Amino acid sequence: VVDENGSETQAGEPGEVVIRGYNIMRGYLDDPEQTAETIDQDGWLHTGDIGIMDSNGYLDITDRKKDMIITGGFNVYPAEVENSLMNHPEIAQIAIVGAPDERLGEIAVAFIVPAKQTDPTEADLINWAREHIANFKVPRQVIFVENLPTNASGKVLKFELRESINNSKQVD
């Protein structure tokens, strides 16, 4: 697990999972550009997964690098924010995506499916989040939806949520 500079992270710190070995591919067939983006000069394959290695050497894969949001110079991992906010009793489902922001670069936007028979407000959820996670991780906007777009296996299609932001200019 390495940081942005390619240095190994300390136990408990998130970073990108990289792998190397005789059983790892040498590259993409007829695609040297993609190979160069994925495999570094030392032969490490950059998986695009964000993980945390514990002190016993166990790896927990927590997110995808492409989903990471950089806001005001801080890295925000959507899965971490989603897991924290799922503890709110008025949230049935949540997906966090990044949206462009002139001042911060990106901001976190929460797409929330409210729990049945609840009527949460954006202000209430943001205030609750401020009490439970670091301020830079708090979503700057909440968009309430009836359901989240998913693929056949139930995985949330975050690219569709990003597209909906870009197409509708819903972000303040």
Q: What is the 3-state secondary structure (H, E, C) of the chain?
A: CECCCCCECCCCCEEEEEECCCCCCCCCCCCHHHHHHHECCCCCEEEEEEEEECCCCCEEEEEEHHHCEEECCEEECHHHHHHHHCCCCCEEEEEEEEEEECCCEEEEEEEEEECCCCCCCHHHHHHHHHHHCCHHHCCCEEEECCCCCECCCCCECHHHHHHHHHHHCCCC
Average pLDDT of span 64-80: 90
The model's pTM is: 0.75
The CATH number of domain 68-169 is 3.30.300.30 = yes
In CATH, the number for domain 13-65 is: 2.30.38.10
* Residue 169, pLDDT score: 63
For the stretch 1-33, pLDDT in tens is 999 889 999 999 989 999 999 999 999 999 999
* Residue 4, pLDDT score: 86
Question: In the chain, where does the domain assigned CATH 2.30.38.10 lie?
Answer: 13-65
Question: In the chain, where does the domain assigned CATH 3.30.300.30 lie?
Answer: 68-169
Length of the chain: 172
